[in-house]
């Protein structure tokens, strides 16, 4: 997230780029010395290794102009290498490269003033009124959390004070890592390097949000409960029932089996988690309530422009946007573009 930071960004609380390895303020780590449940066993990850062809590319066209879309998949097997010759060839032939929409967030405090808010941001991860997860979750849901936490996080009492949405994301990331998978985007660096080599322009659609009085928003957020139990529950569901399928999806992407990816449809918990943050009153105040709609509109506008002026355009999008019924590929089809699958 990496996604945790993205979620903070989507909630209007983060206002400058932060890398996945950014240092966190130190927190007290409280060791839980209770024994692990007897049924806790680590899952053995069966993942493909070595050089793999990767997926084919979707062809989007209207008249003589074409856009080739490469779909990225997350998570993927760790240390997987994919043969990028076809992608590099398409980039060499393209007039422009189109990336996903990015979000730029600004405050009225300037860069240094914004950086001073970081400790408050991490404090905002905690439940209001010093509540713990056992206080805000149902007994059944908390028991599920306890088992999964023991398996993937271990003895850490500090996370028990986190809001469900942030605790769930931390659990998800740890489970992915321990299952032999990675959320690292291995496609983007290849595309960027090829664009530089062939001197191609990269189009990066972006939308901006200006947050007034960010300190007040953080303070209000810290005192406000979120409707994030569904996000938490769906994350538990995925880790309990879908983790092996995540590995299969990564393998299918690696060998170019798009049909296999379609067969492994799943309920994406991230949509519920983002909704928990963007549907609240604070998101309304911060200007983030319609961020997903604005992001989609910005990309579709950029795609329309590219397809109108370029003979060939190369683009990258998440696989979810290629396969989801209401994804960006579906929106292109509704606009009248001809879509050819790999």
Eight-class DSSP state of 117 = T
| Residues 6+ away with beta carbon under 8 Å from 213 | 108
- First and final C-alpha spacing in the chain: 29
Q: What is the pLDDT of residue 121?
A: 58
Residue showing tokens 């989801």: 324
The Cα angle at residue 10 between residues 140 and 117, in degrees rounded to 5: 100
Return the higher-pLDDT residue of 64 and 269: 64
Residues with Cβ within 8 Å of residue 19, at least 6 apart in sequence: none
Q: What is the pLDDT of residues 88-107, one digit of tens each?
A: 999 999 999 999 998 877 66
Task: Count Cα neighbours of 325 within 13 Å in the Cβ-side half-sphere.
Answer: 3
pLDDT for residue 306:
98
Query: Which of 26-30, 62-66, 145-149, 316-320 has the least mean pLDDT?
Result: 26-30
Mean of pLDDT over the chain: 79
In the block, which residue shows the tokens 């409960």?
225
Question: CA of 221: how far to CAs of 37, 43, 113, 284, in Å?
Answer: 35, 37, 19, 12
HSE (CB half, 13 Å, CA atoms) of 255? 12
The upper half-sphere exposure of residue 96, i.e. CA atoms within 13 Å in the direction of its Cβ, equals 17
pLDDT in tens, 155-207: 888 999 999 999 999 999 999 999 888 888 888 999 999 999 999 999 999 98
Pairing of strands 206-211, 65-72: unpaired
* Of the candidates 83, 73, 75, 81, the residue with the CA atom closest to the CA atom of residue 49: 81
Average pLDDT over residues 99-125: 64
Q: 209 versus 8: which is more confidently predicted?
A: 209
- Which are the contacts of 194, defined by CB distance < 8 A and separation ≥ 6? 84, 87, 88, 91, 92, 200
Q: Would the pLDDT of 81 be above 80? A: no
SS3 (DSSP) at 329: helix
Model confidence, pTM: 0.78
Confidence band, pLDDT 50/70/90 cuts, at residue 15? very low
Contact 1, 183 (CB under 8 A): yes
Do the Cβ atoms of 221 and 14 come closer than 8 Å?
Answer: no
| Residue 107 pLDDT | 64
């Amino acid at each position: 997230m990496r996604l945790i930071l993205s979620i903070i960004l989507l909630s209007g609380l983060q206002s400058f780029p932060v890398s996945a390895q950014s240092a966190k303020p130190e927190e007290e780590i409280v060791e839980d010395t209770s024994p692990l449940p007897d049924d806790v066993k680590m899952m053995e990850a069966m993942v493909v290794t070595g050089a793999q062809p990767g997926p084919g590319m979707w062809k989007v066209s209207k008249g003589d102009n074409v856009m080739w879309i490469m779909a990225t998949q997350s998570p993927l097997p760790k240390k997987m290498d994919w043969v990028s010759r076809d992608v590099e060839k398409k980039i060499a032939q393209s007039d422009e490269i189109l990336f996903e929409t990015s979000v730029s967030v600004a405050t009225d405090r300037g860069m240094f003033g914004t950086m001073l808010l970081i400790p408050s941001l991490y404090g905002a991860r905690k439940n209001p009124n010093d509540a713990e997860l056992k206080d805000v979750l149902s007994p059944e849901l908390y028991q599920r959390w306890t088992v999964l936490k023991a398996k993937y996080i271990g003895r850490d009492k500090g996370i028990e004070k986190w809001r469900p949405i942030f605790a769930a994301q931390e659990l998800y990331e740890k489970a992915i890592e321990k299952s032999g998978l990675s959320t690292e985007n291995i496609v983007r660096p290849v595309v960027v390097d090829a664009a530089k080599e062939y001197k191609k322009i990269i189009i990066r659609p972006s939308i901006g949000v200006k947050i007034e009085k960010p300190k007040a928003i953080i303070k209000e957020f810290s005192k406000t409960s979120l409707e994030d139990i569904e996000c938490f529950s769906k994350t538990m569901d995925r880790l309990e029932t879908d983790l092996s399928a995540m590995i299969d999806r990564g393998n299918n992407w690696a060998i170019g089996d798009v049909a296999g990816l379609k067969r492994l449809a799943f309920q994406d918990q991230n949509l519920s988690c983002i909704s928990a943050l963007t549907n609240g009153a604070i998101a309304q105040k911060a200007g983030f309530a319609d961020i997903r709609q604005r992001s989609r509109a910005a990309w579709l506008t950029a795609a329309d422009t590219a397809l109108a002026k370029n003979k060939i355009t190369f683009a990258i999008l998440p696989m979810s946007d290629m396969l989801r019924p209401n994804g960006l590929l579906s929106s292109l089809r509704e606009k009248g573009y001809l879509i050819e699958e790999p």
